Amino acid sequence: MQKSALFSFVSLLFVFINVQSQNFESDSLMLKEIYKTALTDGKSHEWLDYIANNIGGRLSGSIQEEQMIAYTESQLNELGLDKVWKQPVMVPKWTRGFKEYAYIESANGVNNVVDILALGGSVATPNLGIKAEVIEVKSLEEIAKLGESKISGKIVFINRPMNPEHIHTFSAYGEVSRLRFYGAAEAAKYGAVGMIIRSLGLRLDDYPHTGGMSYGDLPEEKKIPAAAISTNGAEYLSSMLRLNPSLKFYFKINSKNWPDVQSYNVIGELKGSEYPEKYMLVGAHLDSWDVGDGAHDDGAGVAQSMEVLRIFKKIGYQPKHTIRIVLFANEENGLRGGRKYAEEAKRKNERHLFALESDAGGFSPRGFSIDTDQANLEQINSWKKLFEPYFIHVFRPGYSAPDLTPLKGYCDVLVGLLPDSQRYFDVHHAVTDTFDKINKRELELGAAAMASLLYLFDTYGTQ
Amino acid sequence: MQKSALFSFVSLLFVFINVQSQNFESDSLMLKEIYKTALTDGKSHEWLDYIANNIGGRLSGSIQEEQMIAYTESQLNELGLDKVWKQPVMVPKWTRGFKEYAYIESANGVNNVVDILALGGSVATPNLGIKAEVIEVKSLEEIAKLGESKISGKIVFINRPMNPEHIHTFSAYGEVSRLRFYGAAEAAKYGAVGMIIRSLGLRLDDYPHTGGMSYGDLPEEKKIPAAAISTNGAEYLSSMLRLNPSLKFYFKINSKNWPDVQSYNVIGELKGSEYPEKYMLVGAHLDSWDVGDGAHDDGAGVAQSMEVLRIFKKIGYQPKHTIRIVLFANEENGLRGGRKYAEEAKRKNERHLFALESDAGGFSPRGFSIDTDQANLEQINSWKKLFEPYFIHVFRPGYSAPDLTPLKGYCDVLVGLLPDSQRYFDVHHAVTDTFDKINKRELELGAAAMASLLYLFDTYGTQ
């Protein structure tokens, strides 16, 4: 390199570094204050304790969901935000009814009871339950391939373990969640009388995991009941089938689908000082499944989102843009809250710059999953150094979070908080998702990471 | 930049990238195989289940420690290593005896029982226990400052919470562990009759945490009994003291110090193909405290270290250097195993290049803490990209791990595995350190990270 070229390159670098480190200093201090407030004077754990232990599982249309809406609205009001309101949205109502019952009929007449959980939205079995032979498959394609001759009159048993080789467990979930969502509809096409799916979890245990499903456009009389069996149960059923392919499986589900009911997104606002008409959003979903107490999914996200605004108030941070907290209704079995919010935002032509959701558990935060363009990605990457002291290292382009997907193409930057994912599918949608699985500091660190990213976007805007 | 300068710069870069990516490719594949083996065909969880649930807490000199030595030796033998042996080392023997008992005497005659745990090495109280007034302090310096007039005849109560602002919780532990270690000796100097310390944990709960301590060179008759009180207990005692500074605290400890007993480091070797006389070490400590089952501290490390060698055997990896697994005796209350190992290595003039210990819990691995020179640090940093797919991001210069410290200055590179630290001090040295706090995948990911780093050092040597 010639001297002059080198010189101009170095001086350019110097200017760049200098400018950067000025901001770096003040941003660093702000992140430090945010983290300190979350860790020494946090409220997220107390909120989550109430949500999990005083409200509990809060499926759309349940009394607990009503309590959750009332509680979060009252807590947002206590934060002294500039505005708090409820955005009406109609949501599906499905009830589990009396506990499910299932057994594997054995050759010697002794029935082996196994734990199942109806999938959300499943129709009930007839009053006397269903008893039928079982056909085990690994994929939707296998169902189609086997066809009516092999499927008709049987219970389809989808036994596909999550792939343990993925380090990010959500990648493994992504590969199999469509089996749960479309499995019953696909099996019904070929005359199956029921669908049982291996729980979507990485651990071998006795707890079935429920989750959303769809019958697509199947007519009412064609719908078949669908349930998840625990991973241990699936292993057991599969080994029994190898010994006796014509064994019969019995199950009874007492669920019911009701007409849609009124629900609400709970929304609060801190008015922006410079750009009050430009919105930056932080949120989570207020509903959960009916089993467990929804501590990780998504009580944690709700408590963290409220904590972000509480921290800003507490440290006296006055945002430039209007910061909105949105607690979405009905993520689990409909996404109606997320859709309604986006619909209304577009209808009112509200300019949305940034949205961040926490819906991947309250575990130790590792980083963010970011759905945006190159310019905004680069901006986020330029902040990496700021996050290093807080062990936030992952800035991963890709899918953000469920309730934000209806904002795609409308909001510049969509982000999902990325906590450590190893324990998540041990509790996801199961009775094991309870408050005792929460570590206070991990929850608080997640809230602090969220507040930090929101602060940076509020300070520098989107690209 | 002028064209020629730019051109030579770019071509240099191209050569560099080209060379790097050749190795990168094959190293990448090797790490992938290591991780796959750990996650789909791992044995660490099964080993740890046995250690925690069939052996349990295994303090130096206990029957459980003997069982642990026999079990790990037999398991290493089953791995088909080139050599497995026991290295004799004398260790201290201290027994807790009958459970401790303590209460805060209240004005109205109703005593409030609180949970305490004698510190390891503490002398017993007299048979009838000790009842005395309490003086609360925050530091060793405060004890010295208060002096004999304020301390004599009293129980010194060290009530210093761990600082929650540290993100890496071991930094908070480092600030206060000396209070536990030297507190009783310091208080005794000024005539205190006992020492009670707030447990070193970040959570408010009812479980006291024990740990090592020293009386320094205090004569036998000057030694005073020392115990930890739970964090909730400490808060309670402190608030009671504010109401009534002259309240009395009663405690009884039934511990005993015995003469040293015979123990062993358990060692195994995979002989190196190119440099059989150069050693690379992986290890953990086989002892634990007597409370809980020592699942995280340090059963996890033992299972992970054995898993590293099992993976190498399983995938048919033939190391260039001799790889040694060392399961150290007596880390908790003496470090005699670590000292003995280093002493013998030096005596035999064994060339040690690299040593890696896992002794910070079996949680999701975040990276490594590395004690070495600049050249080796740079080499490790050049491997960062290889670890990224596995969410290993932290390569932190500094303290490595306890049993490796006697090798400092003798072994080129000392490394401690760095797992997520948020939950560690909830269980550390307490009854809460049990197998149910272990997540199988987190444990396996730690073993895979260890095997990966060892593979890279074996392949490229130290600098």
pTM: 0.94
Please name the residues between 189 and 218 in chain B that touch chain A, using a CB distance below 8 Å.
202-203
- The pLDDT score that the predictor gives to residue A109 is 75
Question: At B83, phi and psi to the nearest 5?
Answer: -160, 135
> pLDDT for A158-204, tens place per residue?
999 999 999 999 999 999 999 999 999 999 999 999 999 999 999 99
Report, in angstroms and rounded to the nearest whole number, the Rg of chain A calculated over CA atoms.
Answer: 24
Place of tokens 């570094």: A17
- The pLDDT score that the predictor gives to residue B11 is 47
Q: Which residues of A touch B203 (CB under 8 A)?
A: 440
Token pair recorded at residue A72: 């979060």
Q: Do residues B401 and B387 lie in contact, with contact meaning Cβ atoms separated by under 8 Å?
A: no
B16, pLDDT greater than 80: no
Using the beta-carbon criterion (under 8 Å), do A442 and B426 form an inter-chain contact?
A: no
Question: At B273, phi and psi to the nearest 5?
Answer: -80, -35
Q: Do residues B363 and B298 lie in contact, with contact meaning Cβ atoms separated by under 8 Å?
A: no
Closest CA to B290 of B208, B226, B347, B187: B208
Of A165, A391, A441, the CB nearest to B39: A165
With an 8 Å Cβ cutoff, is B181 touching chain A? no
Please list the helix, strand and coil fractions of chain A in percent, rounded to the nearest 5, in that order: 40, 25, 35
Q: Do residues B167 and A391 lie in contact, with contact meaning Cβ atoms separated by under 8 Å?
A: yes
- The pLDDT score that the predictor gives to residue B22 is 58
**Residue B388 appears among annotated catalytic residues:** no
Amino acid at A421: S
- Active-site hit among B136, B331, B332, B357: B331
> pLDDT for B392-437, tens place per residue?
999 999 999 999 999 999 999 999 999 999 999 999 999 999 999 9
Q: How far apart are CA B436 and CA B235, in angstroms?
A: 28
ipTM: 0.94
A81, pLDDT greater than 60: yes
A254, pLDDT greater than 70: yes
List the CATH code of the domain at B33-94+260-460.
Answer: 3.40.630.10
Of A202, A394, A442, the CB nearest to B422: A442
Q: Which residues of B touch A439 (CB under 8 A)?
A: 422-423, 426
Residue A444 burial (C-beta neighbours within 10 Å; 0-12, 13-18, 19+): buried
Average pLDDT, stretch B209-232? Answer: 97
Query: Measured at the alpha carbon of residue B290, what is the angle toward residues B287 and B293, in degrees to the nearest 5?
Result: 75
Please name the residues between 33 and 92 in chain A that touch chain B, using a CB distance below 8 Å.
35-36, 39-40
Average pLDDT, stretch B122-126? Answer: 98
Using the beta-carbon criterion (under 8 Å), do A39 and B203 form an inter-chain contact?
A: no
Interface probe for B, chosen from A8, A13, A167 (most Cβ of B below 10 Å), is A167
Listed by start position, the domains of chain B span 33-94+260-460, 99-254
With an 8 Å Cβ cutoff, is B98 touching chain A? no
Residue B24 burial (C-beta neighbours within 10 Å; 0-12, 13-18, 19+): middle
Of the candidate ranges B21-35, B288-302, B303-317, the one whose mean pLDDT is the lowest: B21-35
Q: How far apart are CA A45 and CA A307, in angstroms?
A: 9
Cβ neighbours of residue A174 closer than 8 Å, sequence gap 6 or more = none
Closest CA to B459 of B76, B31, B33: B31
Token pair recorded at residue B121: 């090495």
Question: H-helix or E-strand containing A326?
Answer: strand A321-328
Interface probe for A, chosen from B7, B46, B391, B427 (most Cβ of A below 10 Å), is B391
Of A40, A439, A442, the CB nearest to B165: A40
Interface probe for B, chosen from A33, A37, A366, A422 (most Cβ of B below 10 Å), is A422
Q: Do residues B362 and B300 lie in contact, with contact meaning Cβ atoms separated by under 8 Å?
A: yes
Q: Which residues of B touch A6 (CB under 8 A)?
A: 5
Asked if A35-94+259-460 and A98-254 have one fold, the answer is no
What distances in angstroms separate CA A42 from CA A308, A448, A458, B34, B427, one per listed residue?
10, 10, 22, 40, 22
DSSP string computed for B116-134? EEEPBTPPPPPTT-EEEEE
Q: Which residues of B touch A7 (CB under 8 A)?
A: none
Homologous superfamily of domain range A35-94+259-460: Zn peptidases (3.40.630.10)
Of 1.20.120.790, 3.30.300.30, 3.50.30.30, 3.40.50.150, which CATH number belongs to A98-254?
3.50.30.30
| Gap from A57 CA to chain B (nearest CA, Å) | 24
Using the beta-carbon criterion (under 8 Å), do B203 and A440 form an inter-chain contact?
A: yes
Q: Which residues of A touch B437 (CB under 8 A)?
A: none
With an 8 Å Cβ cutoff, is B222 touching chain A? no
Give the CB-side neighbour count of residue B77, counting CA atoms within 13 A. 8
Of 3.50.30.30, 1.10.1530.10, 3.40.50.20, 3.90.1150.10, which CATH number belongs to B99-254?
3.50.30.30
Using the beta-carbon criterion (under 8 Å), do B167 and A394 form an inter-chain contact?
A: no
> pLDDT for B252-305, tens place per residue?
999 999 999 999 999 999 999 999 999 999 999 999 999 999 999 999 999 999
Q: Do residues B169 and B161 lie in contact, with contact meaning Cβ atoms separated by under 8 Å?
A: no
Active site residues of A: 331
With an 8 Å Cβ cutoff, is A238 touching chain B? no
Q: Do residues A267 and A87 lie in contact, with contact meaning Cβ atoms separated by under 8 Å?
A: yes
Q: Do residues A333 and A94 lie in contact, with contact meaning Cβ atoms separated by under 8 Å?
A: yes
Q: Which residues of B touch A422 (CB under 8 A)?
A: 364, 439, 441-442, 445
